[in-house]
Amino acid sequence: MNSSLGHKASKQTPQTEQSDRPPGFTSNTVSNNADAIAQTIEVREIHDFHGGIHPPENKRQSTTAPIRDLPLPDQLILPLSQHIGVPAQAIVEVGEQVLKGQLIAEAFGPVSAAVHAPTSGVVTDINEYLIPHSSGMSAPCIVIKPDGEERWISHSGCKDFHDELPQTLLKHIRDAGIAGMGGAGFPSAIKLHPQQKIDTLIINAAECEPYITADDMLMREHAEEIITGIQILAHILGEPESVLIGIEDNKSEAWDALSAQLHNSNIELIEIPTKYPSGGEKQLIEILTGTQVPSGKLPAELGIVCLNVGTAFAIKQAVCEGIPLISRITTVTGKACAQAGNYRVLIGTPVSHVLSATGVDEAQCSRLVMGGPMMGFTLPDTAVPLIKTTNCILAPDQSELPTNDFAQACIRCGLCAEACPASLLPQQLYWYGRSQNHERLEAHNLFDCIECGACSYVCPSNIPLVQYYRASKGEIRQHEKDKIIADRARQRFETHQQRIEKEAQEKIARREARRAAALAKQNASTEKVSGSTSNSSSENTSESSPENSSNNSTTDSGQSDLVKAAMARLQNTQTSPEQQRQKLERALSAAQSKLQRYEKQLANPDSTDDPRTADQNNTLLAKIEGARLQHQDINARLDALPAQQGPSEDDV
Amino acid sequence: MSEFFVILISTILVNNFVLAQFLGLCPFMGVSNKLETAIGMAAATTFVLTLAAISSYMVNAWILIPLHLEYLKTIAFILVIAVVVQFTRMFIEKTSPLLYRVLGVFLPLITTNCAVLGVALQNTAKMRTFMESALYGFGAALGFSLVLILFSAMRERLAAADVPTPFRGAAIGMITAGLMSLAFMGFAGLV
Amino acid sequence: MPDWYEITVIELLTQSPLLTALAALVSLSAIFGAVLGYASIKFKIEGNPLVEQVDALLPQTQCGQCGFPGCKPYAESIINGDAINKCPPGGQGTIDAIANLLDVPAPSLDEEHGEESEVRTVAYIREDECIGCTKCIVACPVDAILGAAKLMHTVIADECTGCDLCVEPCPVDCIDMLPIASTMVDWHWQTPEPAESLLIASDRRGEVAA
């Protein structure tokens, strides 16, 4: 489908001589190199992308008047998140006096954009306010009440950006809070700091969506600044080999204005056929370079950076004059709008203020759309502010944009597949979206959908296809998030289970050890008793307790042994198996030596004169018995240890 | 060589076991709800059919005919097929438990797949050579796989489609199978 | 062994069709039996990897509403033939996913085990009222409650699965299950109502009647 018709053109001879070309597939290249003055003709091939539609343009309504200013509103509501990424963090407090251009919220993290005061005034509130988002939700905003004095904070730009390092310029851009002005709002500083070498810089001046003329008017009136902005961008990106401006062929005045400014620059101004959505990033890249950005890849990975013409203008202002992004050009149009046109609005101006200032009859208006008719969304409330990405406010009447056409059954006509600029199968996505078959949706590359609305536009059954895709995308993302949460919960649960199991085992081990010790003690005392009866028959059989109390030394040593064993056990439970094993082994050898010593004592009595008394003998026997039991106990535990279980039953 | 090619074409397309001879319809309707399952079933059936065709030829030529026991061929072939299926079942259970579970009863039921016994019986009835028998079995399996996978792909789309209530489920499946069969009639006369 | 014996056996076999058939079938069966026996040793399987796959589909709230102590035991039970519709936190989505995995028809949720809630909840301890009994800490299956004896406890909201197992043991009833407010981050578009699903007149009647 890549129609590639090279075409000769020059500044002096615009479209008139192209009558023999099929309309829509021509390219004008203006090159004002040194030899361009000598009418050197350059040829650049342009290509076509799959699909696309030609909706009524409706751009004339808003291009008749020049860009106008709006009166200062009563209050400005500045959302902290007007861009893609992390919201900015407020650095002002309620009641604080701010000057025009003063930083009021700074970027938080790399993917974030700062917010500045659009005019001088007082911060009256920092709270949740309705923001322009299709969810109709509230988000943190800074509210400023203008004092009407428009006092600027001191600001200055670079004299000559050629002398500056790209890093310095990037810092200017970041500090100015510039986010993509085309609609997505991706912080520009990130885009201008790619990892790869950039060989193509594309400036998106296509503005393909019906009704919107903000970029068109900006180019007509600020061509010089835009060209300077592009040169700054080229400088930052290390002077890419080709710098291209893609502009649709329905903007001849803007084309004239820009080409008049291309003095001796290597910027190529390329006219592309009017087709929606040629202004989509990937589509424009394909038109101008013929390469398709593969699914899941960024243009930067192919050495291409694509920025909006409005962004170039904002960057010029930020770098050369030090003016942060505090205002933008917004198209206000639609049949319900009396003074349709383009307005320079301060960021944060409430939509209601814009509507009243431009004479919008809200009663006539079928619904209020922020953005264009294809990709915009219906505003839930007119209290929401304009933000950095608002390029259009559309106030159509019932005839222009009828509300809620009744959706009918899909007749499988396939028009949507023909219209899809991303070469997807919208119909199949629709069916899978309805049956929530996420697996198949992803297999059919749902995430390559740019939500341009071409499929919904051509659908003869009025099926809101894009809404299905948006919903499916949201569901899949939600599903993935849930999955991460579930995985973490699973992990925690498993560790929890392991811990409980270990604790239970240790409890059993402790209990067994205690029982063993108690038994040992009991055995020792009964042994003592039996020993006393057998050894000295003359002695009366006596209870063990009085004997214990009478023989302080015996009980002491026995008790201290028990305490020691208990301590050892306690420590054992808290240490690793290796340590436990070592400890047990040590205890074992100690017990063995003790046993031997006692036995020796018993076998060969001391050479002392007085013969051992029966009592002493008994004590010794008891000691031996105790030591033997301890030895057995330790042995059993040692045996049980490698199996990671509590002591087995045979330890008693 | 060309006759082998003719055998393949005729078994895959012209005399397709499912759509032209109406053999092996149970798995055709039973395991065509999901594409992945259908592919697994197609692979299993291909394996069983080819192996059964070869081994039934061997049993027939080396045991039954020398011993004049041709009247036992049905029971002998069933035995052969059952063994091959059982072997496949074990193999799948080991290699893909999910496929094993999803195929469920249809895996052992390959034993009673008429196409499998049909191939073996036709091979002996038509006095085919070893090579012809093997190719006939393999071609039949390819034909079965082809229509099973095509059909399951269609059913997967049908599952998401807006089918009138009385036709949902098996009904629309039957209609689709009928239309497919009509389409395969178009191959008649190709060979 | 004398020759005549062999001859007699073979003669007997060839002359008596019944014996021939019997011998042929028996020997065939013996050979095939040997093959299968070998295969059953060769393809012996241990464990069931399907449990992991089912477990991965469960929501991991570990709430025990299915009657099993955690999601993994329920996954094991499903593999052993239990019903797949006992998981209220996962709801119909989980049932459909498991049904899809196992290729079985998807039943609707078994109300016996609870109802699918629209919003996710998270436990919240009213910290003034907490007496520090640690009972909820013991009850929490994912260790998401932080605290010590006689000290105030608190819930790590990010780790809480909303299983509400901690609510019951609390002696002073200071734990609430709060719904998680939906934010901009997790907001997404809703699937539109398919208006054309009522295309067939009989369907429409059916819907109305139902």
Residue A437: list chain B partners with CB under 8 A. Answer: 160
Q: Could you give the percent of chain A with pLDDT greater than 70? A: 80
Provide the mean pLDDT of chain A: 81
Query: Using the beta-carbon criterion (under 8 Å), do C28 and B76 form an inter-chain contact?
Result: yes
Amino acid at site C172: V
Going by C-alpha positions, the residue among B16, B43, B17, B28 that lies closest to residue B177 is: B28
Pairing outcome for strands A68-69 and A341-346: parallel
Would you say residue A115 has pLDDT above 90? Answer: yes
Which tokens hold the place of C178? 């709060």
Q: Which of C25, C49, C100 sits opposite B97 (nearest CB)?
A: C49
Interface test with C, best of A490, A495, A501 (most C CBs within 10 A): A490
**Mean pLDDT in chain C?**
81
pLDDT band at B138 (very low <50, low <70, confident <90, very high): very high
pLDDT in tens, A503-517: 999 999 999 999 999
Q: What is the pLDDT of residue A348?
A: 92
* Dist. CA A307–CA A203, nearest whole Å: 5
3-state class (DSSP) for residue A205: strand
pLDDT band, residue C104 (cuts 50/70/90):
confident
C107, C85 contact by CB (below 8 A): yes
A462 touching C, CB under 8 A? no
Nearest-CB residue to C186 (from A134, A478, A492): A478
pLDDT at C6: 63
Answer whether A83's CB lies under 8 Å from A112's CB. yes
Q: Which residues contact A395 (CB under 8 A, 6 or more apart)?
A: A332, A333, A334, A335, A336, A337, A355, A360, A362, A365, A368, A369
- Cα(A365)–Cα(A350) distance, rounded to whole angstroms? 17
Radius of gyration over every alpha carbon of chain B, rounded to an integer in angstroms:
17
A14 has a pLDDT exceeding 80: no
d(CA B136, CA B119): 7
- DSSP class of residue A70? P
Q: Which amino acid is at C191?
A: T
ipTM: 0.76
Q: Is the pLDDT of residue A185 over 70?
A: yes
Number of CB atoms found within 10 A of residue A254's CB: 27
pLDDT digits (tens, 9 = 90+) for A361-399: 888 888 889 988 898 888 888 889 999 999 999 998 888
Cβ atoms A400, A362 nearer than 8 A: no
C22 pLDDT higher than 70: yes
Pairing label, strands A97-98, A115-116: unpaired
Judged against a pLDDT cut of 60, whether residue C189 lies above it is answered with yes
Instruction: Please report the pLDDT score of residue A359 as a whole number.
Output: 87
Spatial strand order in the sheet of A200-205? A29-30, A267-272, A242-248, A200-205, A304-308
Closest CA to A225 of A319, A156, A306, A159: A319
Residue C189 DSSP one-character state:
P
- A495: CB partners within 8 A, 6+ apart: C143
Phi, psi of A139 (to 5 degrees): -150, 160
| A437 in B contact zone (CB under 8 Å) | yes
Lowest mean pLDDT, pick from A85-94, A295-304, C138-147, C193-202: C193-202
Q: What is the pLDDT of residue B154?
A: 92
Q: How far apart are CA C95 and CA C105, in angstroms?
A: 10
B156 neighbourhood in chain A, CB within 8 Å: 440
pLDDT at residue number C41: 86
The alpha carbon of residue B156 is apart from the nearest alpha carbon of chain A, in Å, by 10
Give me the percent of chain B exceeding a pLDDT of 70: 100
Sheet containing A392-394: give its strands across: A68-69, A341-346, A327-333, A392-394, A369-370, A377-378
Confidence of residue A110 (pLDDT cuts 50, 70, 90): confident
Cβ-contact A1, A30 below 8 angstroms: no
**Cis amide prior to C89 (ω within 30 degrees):** no
Test the A interface: residue of B162, B163, B168 with most A CBs within 10 Å: B162
Query: C24 and B34: CB-CB below 8 Å?
Result: no
The upper half-sphere exposure of residue A55, i.e. CA atoms within 13 Å in the direction of its Cβ, equals 26
Query: How is residue A111 annotated by DSSP?
Result: S
pLDDT (tens digit, 9 = 90+) per residue, B31-61?
888 888 899 889 889 999 999 999 999 999 9
CA distance B177 to B158: 12
**Distances A95 to A98, A126, A139, A144, C199 between C-alpha atoms, Å:** 9, 10, 20, 9, 60
C43/B75 touch (CB, cutoff 8 Å), yes or no: no
Q: Answer yes or no: pTM beyond 0.80.
A: no
* pLDDT tens readout for residues A218-232: 999 999 999 999 999
CA–CA distance, A261 with A271 (Å, rounded to integer): 16
- N residues, chain B: 191
pLDDT exceeds 60 at position A175: yes
Residues 6 or more apart in contact with residue A382 via CB below 8 angstroms: A350, A351, A352, A355, A362, A368
Residue C201 contacts residue B166 (beta carbons within 8 Å): no
d(CA A370, CA A366): 13
Which pLDDT tens digit goes with each residue over A572-612? 555 556 666 777 777 777 777 777 777 776 666 554 444 55
Q: Do residues C142 and A496 lie in contact, with contact meaning Cβ atoms separated by under 8 Å?
A: yes
The pLDDT value given to residue C15: 75
Which chains neighbour C (Cβ–Cβ under 8 Å, 3 or more pairs)?
A, B
- Strand-strand pairing, A327-333 and A341-346: antiparallel
Secondary structure (DSSP) of A182-201: TSS--BHHHHTS-SSPP-EE
pLDDT at residue A638 above 80? no
**Confidence at residue B93, expressed as pLDDT on a 0 to 100 scale:** 84
d(CA A500, CA A457): 60
- Among C33, C84, C27, residue whose Cα is nearest residue C54: C84
Chain B residues with CB within 8 Å of chain A CB: 156-157, 159-162
Distance from CA of C49 to the nearest CA of A (A): 17
